[in-house]
Amino acid sequence: MRYHCWFGPQHDWDFAERAIKAGLDGFELFGWLRQFPEEEAREYREKAKRLKAELNAGLTVHAPFMDINLGSINSRIRQVCLEEVRDALEFAREVGASAVAVHTAPGIMGMTEGSWVREHPRPSSGLLAQRELAVRAVQDLADFAPDLLLCLENLIYPHELYRSPEEMRELVRRVDRSNVGITLDVGHAAVCGYNPRDFVQLLSDEILHVHLHDNHGSADEHLPPGKGTIDYVGVIQSLKQLDYQGVITFEFELENPEDYAAYLY
Amino acid sequence: MKYHGWFKPQHDLEYARRALKAGLDGFEIIGGQSHYDPVEFKRYRENIKRIQEELPASFTLHAPITDINLGSINRRIRQASIDDVKAALEFALEIGASAVAVHASPGILAMPGGRWSQDTESPAVQDELIHQEQLLLEALRELAGFAPEIPICLENLVYPHELYRSPREMRELLEKVGCPNVQATLDVGHAVVSGWDPVRFVHDNFETIRHVHLHDNHGFVDEHLPLGQGTIDYLHVIKALQQHGYEGVITFEFYPESPERFADYLRQFS
């Protein structure tokens, strides 16, 4: 198992050096460069490229997720979403990242098609169309970047799709690409009422990436492990038992990179 | 008060004729070009054009809603959302629609920005929310300037992950936008699902309401049922609107069993 922490535009080189010295194996980068002012994005790209060369750091990238719906039934929005994630894949390639975390289809469609609608007897044609479009979009992205692992993340809130272990398995099976697997987000699993260990059991072959953070079971707080109520040690143990070889990204922020050392298991 | 019903791509001219004969004054058009297959959309426009030429109907238009977030903090998504709504406003101008219903900012940002994140203390999330609202206000002002002759009527939304659901949130939003042609659509069904009494909505917000969406549900899911098939006391809503002298359009946002059924609802209201 290897451990990464966030490295965003707000972090400086000193932070990166200290984090590696503290025992981390690498970093998870923000794949939404277009959201930053141009100058900031340029600097971030340059710094990110040095991480591997100079610190021998492993890298993962988080694709943009805010308002992204890869299965949107609005063709204009879907197109933009695909471009956004494609940009993140190119960035991942440029910096030499191994895996990219992707949120498939949360969202606004979620507005009408989340659990509220599932309480409704018939799934709408929009929902069925979105499911198809999402699968196709992920296939396109996987074929666009056969050299990268695309890791679809289990999502969180009742209006989102793809939250349960079963839904995630179904999605990955339907996508059916060897470079597509799952990012197990431990915090998300807990917020939507699943035991993260059930994910590990059911999806042991599909989990290629892990996001680790804590919460109190109702909001996606992204707290350091131990500050919430998640049995994170149990999750780590399950992963170890299954000989998980991928990256665990600490998705919580600590001011001093040295403090991440306390969370290495 | 005028009454409109949906006219969607699956409807034909015969349906329009029968609906008007049953007493409707016109139709609400669904203006989401990016949702349609181009061939389907072309046929849809041709049908609407024929209604314009051959039948005595007025129009309102519903801007695209699915996955649209006018305040998205993702620049490209925000731009695509604005472009999509602009296309709808152009369509509204073309058909002479008297009002355009717009959903301000539902959505995914809504994911961290809705009730859940309001529960969290995270300053980062609060910053994002404020940022999104600023972007939304800019987007709405841009749209208002793009089509100053059309009332852009922001709709009260539905679910807990969405912003702008209560009468107060709606009033405050419109005050902040501060454009005379940005007003409100009262969606009666949404008000009920999100826990607000639509009659209160009418009394508290009447001066901003330029458009109304009427449909029924059982109080939990936005079912868009024909009136009477859910539990909403819609007659009281109509009465409240009548009391205030409402002169805008009420759109029936449901599929009736047959267009002739519209006559029954209209009889109840008179």
Kindly tell me if the per-residue pLDDT of A130 is higher than 80: yes
Within 8 A of B109 by CB-CB distance, chain A residues are 66-67
What's the pLDDT at A238?
96
Residues B215, B251: Cα–Cα separation, whole Å: 9
Q: Which of A12, A90, A89, A87 is nearest to A50 (CA)?
A: A12
Q: Which of B153, B212, B213, B211 is nearest to B180 (CA)?
A: B153
- A73 and A129 Cβ atoms separated by less than 8 Å: yes
Burial of B129 (0-12, 13-18, 19+ CB in 10 A): buried
pLDDT (tens digit per residue) in B217-258: 998 878 889 999 999 999 999 999 999 999 999 999 999 999
Domain ranges of chain B: 2-269
Residues B118, B112: Cα–Cα separation, whole Å: 8
Give whichever of A154-158, B213-217, B223-227 has the largest mean pLDDT. Answer: B213-217
Within 8 A of B106 by CB-CB distance, chain A residues are 108, 111
What's the pLDDT at A219?
77
Q: Chain A interface residues facing chain B, Cβ-Cβ under 8 Å?
A: 32, 34-35, 64-69, 72-81, 83-84, 106-112, 114, 116-117, 119-120, 126, 156-160, 218-222
Does the distance separating the beta carbons of B72 and A74 come in below 8 Å? no
**In chain B, which residue's Cα lies nearest the Cα of A221?**
B120
What's the pLDDT at B122?
55
pLDDT (tens digit per residue) in B154-206: 999 887 667 788 999 999 999 999 999 999 999 999 999 889 999 999 999 99
How far from A58 is each of A22, A129, B92, CA to CA, in Å? 15, 38, 53
Average pLDDT on A60-86 reads: 92
- B119 and B148 Cβ atoms separated by less than 8 Å: no
Kindly tell me if the per-residue pLDDT of A125 is higher than 90: no
What's the pLDDT at B252?
98
pLDDT (tens digit per residue) in A200-210: 999 999 999 99
A35, A75, A218: residue with CB nearest B34: A75
- A189 and A177 Cβ atoms separated by less than 8 Å: no
Within 8 A of B68 by CB-CB distance, chain A residues are 74, 77, 108
Average pLDDT, chain B: 90
Does the distance separating the beta carbons of A108 and B66 come in below 8 Å? yes
Outline where DSSP puts E strands in chain B.
2-7, 26-30, 58-62, 100-102, 152-155, 182-187, 209-214, 249-252
Q: What's chain A's Rg over C-alpha atoms?
A: 18
- A238 and A205 Cβ atoms separated by less than 8 Å: no
| Greater pLDDT, A247 or A108 | A247
- A112 and B107 Cβ atoms separated by less than 8 Å: no
Within 8 A of A83 by CB-CB distance, chain B residues are 76
What's the pLDDT at B108?
39
B76, B110, B119: residue with CB nearest A80: B76
What structural domains and CATH numbers belong to chain A? 2-263 (3.20.20.150)
What's the pLDDT at B117?
42
Burial of A33 (0-12, 13-18, 19+ CB in 10 A): buried
**SS3 of A86, please?**
helix
CATH homologous superfamily of B2-269 = Divalent-metal-dependent TIM barrel enzymes (3.20.20.150)
What's the pLDDT at A113?
41
A72, A79, A219: residue with CB nearest B120: A219
ipTM: 0.85
